[in-house]
Amino acid sequence: MAKLWFWGSGWLQKREASRSGAADGALRIPGADWPRDKFPQFEHALQQRAQTQSEAFKERWHDEDNKLHVAYCNAKGDHGRALREISRLEQTRGDLQREYDEEKARVDRLGGPVYLNKTAYLLIMFVLGVLEIPLNAVVMEAFGLDRIQTYLFTLIPAAALLFGAHFIGIATRINVFQRHSLTPVVWLSVVLAALAFIFVVGLSYIREEYLADVGKNLTEIELNPLMLTITFAAVNLLLFGVAVVASALAHNPALEQFVAVRAALRRCVQAIAAARRSVDIAERTVESTRVTKVNTVRRYRAIVEQVRNDAEWLISHYRGANMRVRDDGVRPPPFDTLPVIGNPIPTEGELDFNCERMAVDGAIDARPVAKEEKSVDGHLEERVPSD
């Protein structure tokens, strides 16, 4: 049954072909002396209509194929760029891995990984500063200052002690005391430690004199001056020592670079994984687009073949009716062949998968399109530590 390509439904086409064939047969058209390549007007018109329909379907196919070709070549370009990005990242990862190993060894030589992050360190120093304030407030009260002035001036020795502890802790972490040389850092560390000791002992003595006098007036109990001095000095030195240890644990000259390299290495590994996912997506897109291109050309070739079959089906009805009514009983030479109705749609083997031409013409993204490149093996040697 013919499709609706020409004048209407199949039976109307068949009826029209039969009527035309009978009318021409009664007039002996085509004649017995016609050449084989001269077809009657009905067949010639049918050939032209079929060819016009075929060309129209070729234009439709061409539009669809162009869109698919752009998608195909863009996917090929993405695939090639992702492969090159993986290659670049692999090289970067190797460099970062070597730098990471060097920085890790350097951190280990300078005391190992840090045990205190900056937040914990600042919190500890803040708590120690708060604890220093009431201990030193007693000293300020001994000078007759009011409460606001007392706590204001109390912050000065507390900050001085914490600063000294901070510096000495850093000096301890960088091993300045193990180099057997009197560098400026060593001298400054020794001076700060000595000043801190003198300062703490001096504050403890003033505090002891004040409390001993106040306690005697209030309770008539004489307090032991030496024990008071030792007690207050021990408490202050304990807080100072805790601050020094916290500073030592929280500072490592190699730590910042180590953390930066480790973060860069992790980001590089993640980028490689993302690039591999891009390669997989691009490969699937390339394959699916290729299959769609092939299926599209098959579909349009089948449509055009159906157009030709419909035309030949109508020609057979035209000729059958023509021969039935001819009074000379002669089969004319044109009836020995069929009008040529070509299929302008290319075959699967003729499909265009050349992306370089499309890039030159500007029809797609003109970024470099990779040739057929092998996909990189998707297994990385993961050596990045968890912390």
Alpha-carbon torsion angle 15, 18, 24, 27, nearest 10: -110
pLDDT of amino acid 210? 57
pLDDT at 243: 80
% of the chain surpassing 70 pLDDT: 64
pLDDT digits (tens, 9 = 90+) for 211-256: 555 544 444 445 555 666 677 677 777 877 788 778 777 776 667 7
Comparing 90 with 254, the larger pLDDT belongs to: 90
Quote the mean pLDDT of the chain: 76
Spatial contact of 87 and 380, defined as CB atoms under 8 Å apart: no
- Whether 37 shows a pLDDT value over 60: the answer reads yes
* Whole-number Å distance between alpha carbons of 24 and 31: 10
Torsion 185-186-187-188 (CA) sign:
positive
